[in-house]
Amino acid sequence: MAPPILRALLATAMLSLCSAQAAEPGPPQCIVPAAIGGGFDLLCKLTRQALREAGLTRQPMDIAYMPGGVGAVAYNTVVAQRPAEPGTLVAFSSGSLLNLALGKFGRFDETAVRWLAMIGTSYGALAVRADSPYKTLDDLLAALRKDPDSVVVGSGGTVGSQDWMQLALLVRQAGIDPHELH
C-alpha cells in the first residue's frame, strides 16, 4: 500500500485532471482569411453574434485574421496544423470555393474539412450612374470590346476573389483575356 502522502498527491492529481477535463473548453474561433474588414470579417462577426444570441456559446467566439490566397492560407493551416480543433470555423466565399475546386489551394481538396453551413449569399451586381453611356449589358460589352482601358470598374476583392471572378467572366464574354487588363 502507498504511503498516505503519496495517496494524497495521487488523489489531488486525479481531482485536478477531472476538473480540467470538466472545465469549459476555450472559446470557439472563427478565422477570417483576409485582413480586418470586408465580407469575411463581417461573416465571422455575424456568426459570433448569432451564436451568442442563440445561447449556443458561453464565451464570445474569438476572431483571428489569417490573410492570403482568398482563403488558401487559412484552409491549409487549419487542415495541416490544427485538425483537432473542433471549435474552429473558417469563413469562405464562393470565390474561395471556386479556387479550391480548381486545385489552387494546394494538396488539400474539399474533402479535407467538414462543411458546416452557408450563412449568407453574395450576389454580383453591375451598377452605373444614371447619366452613364451604358444603358444595357450589351452597351458595356461593346465598350469593352472597342477599348477595354476606357471602362473603369470598381470592385472589392483581389485576383481570384468572387468579385474578380464575376468581372473576369464578364470581360471574357467580351472576348478579352482578363489577365491582360491593366
Q: Same domain for 105 and 143? A: no
Q: Same domain for 57 and 99? A: yes
CB burial readout 2-40, b (16+ within 10 A) else e: eeeeeeeeeeeeeeeeeeeeeeeeeebbbbbbbeeebbb
Is residue 129 one of the residues assigned to a domain?
no
What single-letter DSSP state applies at residue 140?
Answer: H
Is residue 160 one of the residues assigned to a domain?
yes
Measured CA to CA, the distance from residue 94 to residue 88 in angstroms comes to 20
Is residue 72 one of the residues assigned to a domain?
yes
Query: Which pLDDT belongs to residue 178?
Result: 83
Domain count, the chain: 2
Query: Which pLDDT belongs to residue 85?
Result: 83
Is residue 132 one of the residues assigned to a domain?
no
Q: Same domain for 101 and 147? A: no
Is residue 10 one of the residues assigned to a domain?
no
Which of 112, 129, 150 delimits the end of a domain? 112
Q: Same domain for 36 and 106? A: yes
Q: How far is CA 14 from CA 8, 20, 43, in A?
A: 10, 10, 41
Q: Same domain for 143 and 97? A: no
Is residue 127 one of the residues assigned to a domain?
no
Query: Which pLDDT belongs to residue 140?
Result: 92
Per-residue pLDDT of the chain (182 residues; tens, 9 = 90+): 455 553 443 344 344 334 433 444 678 999 999 999 888 899 899 999 998 999 988 888 999 999 988 788 999 999 999 888 888 999 988 778 878 888 888 889 889 888 888 777 767 788 899 999 999 999 999 999 999 888 888 776 667 667 777 888 888 989 998 877 76
- Domain range enclosing 31: 25-112
- Looking at the chain, which runs of residues are DSSP E strands? 29-32, 62-65, 88-90
Is residue 52 one of the residues assigned to a domain?
yes
Q: Same domain for 96 and 142? A: no
Q: Same domain for 108 and 141? A: no
Q: Same domain for 105 and 69? A: yes
The whole-model pTM stands at: 0.61
Q: Same domain for 94 and 145? A: no
Q: How far is CA 82 from CA 14, 59, 79, 129, 179, in A?
A: 28, 21, 6, 47, 35
Query: Which pLDDT belongs to residue 21?
Result: 39
Is residue 14 one of the residues assigned to a domain?
no
Q: Residues 116, 143: contact at Cβ < 8 Å?
A: no
